[in-house]
Structure 1
Amino acid sequence: MLSAPRDPVRRTMFYSLLEGSMSQIFLNWTTGIVLTGFMIYLGAKPSELALVASVPLLAQMISPFAAWWAGRLGKRKDLTLLTAVLGRSLWVLAALLPLFNIPEAFRPTFVVLLVALSSALQAAAGTLWQAWMGDVIPEEERGKYMGFRTGLVGVIGMLGNLLAGWLLDRLPEPYNFQLVLLLGVGCALLGGYFLKQHHEPEGKVLRFKLLDTFALPLRDLNFRRYLGFAAYWMVAVMLCSGFVFPYFLKVVKMSFTMLALWTAVASISAMLLMPLWGAVADRWGNKPVLAIGTFVAGTLMPLCWMLGGITGNMGYLWAAAVFDAVAWGAIGPALFNLVLASSPAETRASYFGMFNLLTGFTGFLGGIISGALMEWFPLIFGNTHAYHALFILAGVMRASAWILLKPITETRAHRTRDVLRYIAQHLIPVRKF
């Protein structure tokens, strides 16, 4: 029988894989295709679809307050557990929504408000967890481990998505959504148990003022540059991400099962690619990895979405799933690790808090703008081409993000062209004739 290692660091790394897997199932079953389908069932308008996709980012603005509180306590574990479990348990209310005496016109708004509150608590937990794991996992293997962890939990989440898609297509509404949401909460509670098994190193009580939680990261010129990149990137991401799944469901006419298979292809590809990206980042730095990932996310991904919708050829959409893994397999761990590389250990929670606050606000702003554009674009381009116009605009912004990475300093970072050359020579199989 599989058992946890005795060494506290290795035990934490072991339990983090289990906790991440359960939490990923919860996240997949309360976001993405499930939440999109639930909101469409409730009759949500484009502006409400944009809101429900973007309010989790606005909720990240609570992160600096969580960092300050944890600093004064000197501990992170109990506060992380409290906020994570409470925030995820709130989704029981969404599952029971069809039973409540709430006017139908207000139900999408109720879900938006619930998502905002739940996300605020989870954002606080996420900020504390990031700084906590930064203290536990050795720096020399952090990139490889986090790449493997992200890929593994992605595959577990993919299997959960397949089950969710199967249930959503075969059970009548709203019972299908209710069952999936309740099972997701159950997985979240199990993840809380695994989180409780994590080791917490001895922490210092940091008696800095609440204002210092905001001021300390902003005094750092290099970190301010990174914040500028991250803010721009989140606007570019959220400008279209809330309408990708609605596009697949409404325009491409995917079933929930087919959409779950699409996410499965992306997750399997991510499982294979993320450890490789982590190894590349450990050797060449996170900055060039981030530059490559953001460029792919702004070019190949939206191009394949549009070609798939225009031609009806699903091959383009399967290719988009692979490019999704290529891009986010690079972006996700690199964004996280670049904050770690740019922050001192003692005040790391405040750096993560400021990063989450700014990216949360700008991501929410991008989502609000996307909702307004999708109310306006159909009047100009028609319903289908309104999506294409949004994808092109967001794609141009995403593909240009690497420019803002150039002035950021990272000790181990190499030039992007050198990393591309290394990838071409060592990671991409080339057959010689």
Structure 2
Amino acid sequence: MKTNEKFSIKNGIAATIVQNLTNNYFSLFAIGVLGATNYQVGLISSLPQFVGMFAMLICSIMMGRISEKKNFTAYSVFITRVFLLCMVFVIYVPEAYQSWVFVLLVGLMNFPGSFAVLSWQSFIGDLIPDHRRNGFFSERNKILTIVGMGATFLIGLSLQQFDKTNPLPYQVLFLLAFIFGAIEVYYIMKHREAKAQPKRKLPGFNLNLGIFRDKPYLYFLICGLYFNFGWQMAWPLFSIYQISYAHANGFWISILTVANQLAQIASFTWWGKMADKHGNSKMMIPIALGMALAPVTMTISTNLIYITLANGLSGFFVSGTVLILFNQLLEVTKEDNRSSYIANYNVLLAIIGFIAPQFGVFLLEATNIGMSMSISTGVRASSAIFFLLFYVFMKKRNNRILLNNAGASAGSELERR
């Protein structure tokens, strides 16, 4: 177990560097170098989710045939990173098509990327036992965030040396990301996976009544998807506000990201302890309320120092969201068919992930940045009500299970007498 945890952290470090070399600067590259429109910036957030939806359908069927998930995960990650190498050459495309080619690359990259996410979640869920998850993932996330913060800060200092319209630094970032992607694959392959018997019955993807009869899973779906709609509809709005309204350059984008990551580093362990003490379902209530603060506080000022502080506040609750939402998903999925449950969740999440950013951009075009951000705040805040109801349900259910187990134990004791 410790060996797998060690390699999981190393694999995560490489993956974090890849993401910090790329994801944080996709919008800046698209707007500053390629001249992308608001609609195209929205697609950078939503198109990957749309593509991912179809990928999840295919992946869930493929995983039914796979007895060992490590190789499948590694190959999926490698193919995903090849798309980053392709991004190096976007500027050699005719100028009129550059922004669209880039948007398509970002979107299509999520086809193998969705394979990687689904297989990794199922793979790591099998390797890390229930009692270790909150402690291990909080520690892992803290380490990865420290690494990501350092990488982001160095990137910001480097980008400051170039004009924001210069494509060269972004080409270097995409190339380095591909190299670290290869390191990421190497450490995935180092994990030790117990050999399993090939599955005879293919679970595939099926949105049928059978999976929805599992009430903890069904109620989590409702809560999680509604919360994600409010969360993801603001993603392109943050990028547009910071770059187009507050005029942040590469250096400031890095500073904003570092502030967010510092807050995550400071809070990962705390969220893990709180989840162990109070349970995942209960802790999602304050997380939803905290996440509601981010959109509305962001638009109070275009002062970049203020926005940095607002990003720090957001980071405190993002760490809780990342840790506890994933652990809650694992908690409500059944171990013998976890891949199918996770696939169902991710496909539905991909649908939300496509619609929500486009809805956010639609609100921006129809109203203004302040109103669209405020609506996101309202949806996020109201999701706390859903999580409260889910917590009450889970508490009653767990109490009922304890009573039933106690009754069964008492019955067995009487029989022995």
TM-score (structure 1 length as normaliser): 0.85
Structure 1 counterpart of 2:297? 304
Q: 1:264-283, aligned counterparts within 5 Å? A: 264-283=258-277
Partner of 2:410: none
Is residue 60 of structure 1 aligned with residue 52 of structure 2? yes
2:146 aligned partner:
155
Structure 1: stretches of 5+ with no match in the other structure: 1-8, 378-385, 415-433
Give the residue type in structure 2 aligned to 1:361: I
Q: Aligned in 2, Cα 1:413/1:257: closer, same or farther, shift over 3 Å?
A: farther
Q: Tell me if the contact between 2:205 and 2:344 (Cα under 8 Å) persists in the aligned partners.
A: no
- Matched-pair contact (CA < 8 Å) for 1:151–1:267: no
Are the equivalent residues in 2 in contact too, given 1:57–1:364 (CA < 8 A)? yes
Q: d(CA) in 1 for partners of 2:246 and 2:304?
A: 10
Do the aligned partners of 1:214 and 1:350 also contact (CA within 8 Å) in 2?
no
Match of 1:184 in 2: 177
Structure-1 residue corresponding to 2:189: 196
**Could you tell me how far apart the structure 2 residues matched to 1:105 and 1:213 are?**
42
Please point out which of 386, 410, 417 is paired with 2:394: 410
Give the letter for the 2:212 counterpart. L
Please say if 1:85 is aligned against 2:90: no
SS of 1:410's partner is helix
Give me the whole-angstrom Cα distance separating, in 1, the residues matched to 2:345 and 2:387.
15
CA contact 1:284–1:413 (8 Å) conserved in 2 = no
Deviations 1:10-66 (A, max 9, x none): 11101111111111111122212x101111021111110000112222233222432
Select which of 133, 146, 152 maps to 1:142. Answer: 133
The C-alpha deviation readout for 1:184-242, integer Å capped at 9, x for no partner, is 11111111111110111233433334555443533322212211122212221121111
Amino acid at match of 1:410: M
Q: Which residue of 2 aligns with 1:342?
A: 332
The question of 1:130 aligning with 2:121 is answered yes
* Equivalent of residue 222 in structure 2, options 220, 228, 242: 228
Residue 176 (structure 1) shift: 1.2
Q: Distance in 1 between matches of 2:187 and 2:205?
A: 33
1:208-223 aligned within 5 A = 208-209=201-202, 213-215=206-208, 216-223=210-217
* Contact kept? 2:61, 2:204, Cα under 8 Å: no
Residues 19/292 of structure 1: CA separation in 2 closer, same or farther (3 Å cut): same
Give, in whole Å, the separation in 2 of the partners of 1:198 and 1:410. Answer: 34
**Residue among 343, 359, 365 paired with 2:349:** 359
Secondary structure of 2:394's aligned partner: coil
| Segment of structure 1 superposing worse, 167-176 or 13-22 | 167-176
User: What amino acid is aligned across from residue 47 of structure 2 in structure 1?
Assistant: V
Q: Paired residue for 2:404?
A: none
**2-side partners of 1:95 and 1:51: how far apart?**
20
Relative to structure 1, the CA distance from residue 371 to residue 307 in structure 2 (aligned partners, 3 Å threshold; closer, same or farther) is: closer
Stretch deviating more after TM superposition (268-277 or 212-221): 212-221
Do the aligned residues in 1 keep the contact of 2:234 with 2:295 (CA within 8 Å)?
no
Who is 1:419 aligned against? none
Paired with 1:212 and 1:361, the residues of 2 have a C-alpha distance of 15
- The alignment partner of 2:196 has SS state of coil
TM-score (norm 2): 0.89
> What's the CA shift string for 1:71-126, capped at 9, x where partnerless?
22212111111111111111111111112xx3322222111211122112111111
Range with greater deviation from structure 2 (154-163 or 336-345): 154-163
Matched-pair contact (CA < 8 Å) for 1:47–1:375: no
Do the aligned partners of 1:286 and 1:413 also contact (CA within 8 Å) in 2?
no
* 1:253 lines up with 2:247 in the alignment: yes
What stretches of structure 2 of length at least 5 have no aligned partner? 399-417
The answer to whether the 8 A contact 2:18-2:178 is kept is: yes
User: 1:145 touches 1:275 (CA, 8 Å); kept in 2?
Assistant: no
Distance (whole Å) between structure 2 residues aligned to residue 58 and residue 50 of structure 1:
12
Q: Please give the alpha-carbon distance, in whole angstroms, between the structure 2 residues aligned to 1:260 and 1:169.
A: 10
Equivalent in the alignment of 2:11: 19
| Counterpart contact for 1:21–1:156, Cα < 8 Å | yes
Tell me the distance in 1 between the aligned counterparts of 2:4 and 2:397. Answer: 29
Q: Does residue 401 of the first structure (1) align with residue 383 of the second (2)? A: yes
2:89 aligned with 1:96:
yes
Distance of 2:251 and 2:396 partners within structure 1: 43
In the superposition, relative to structure 1, how do residues 413 and 284 fare at CA in structure 2: closer, same or farther (>3 Å)?
A: farther
Figure out how many residues of one structure are paired with residues of the other and give that number: 391
Counterpart code for 1:238 = Q
Q: Which residue of 2 aligns with 1:117?
A: 108
Q: Deviations over 1:254-303 (max 9, x none)?
A: 2321221221122122112111101111221111221111111112x223
Q: What amino acid is aligned across from residue 30 of structure 1 in structure 2?
A: T
Structure 1's consecutive aligned runs of 4 or more residues displaced over 4 angstroms after TM superposition are: 209-213, 411-414
Distance 1:361 1:298, change over 3 A: same
> Is it true that 1:174 corresponds to 2:167 in the alignment?
yes
Other-structure match for 2:20: 28
Alignment RMSD, CA only? 2.0
SS in 2 for 1:44: coil
CA–CA separation in structure 1 for the residues paired with 2:322 and 2:285: 12
The letter for the 2-side match of 1:94 is: M
- Whole-angstrom distance in 1 between the partners of 2:16 and 2:397: 30
Percent same amino acid among aligned pairs? Answer: 21
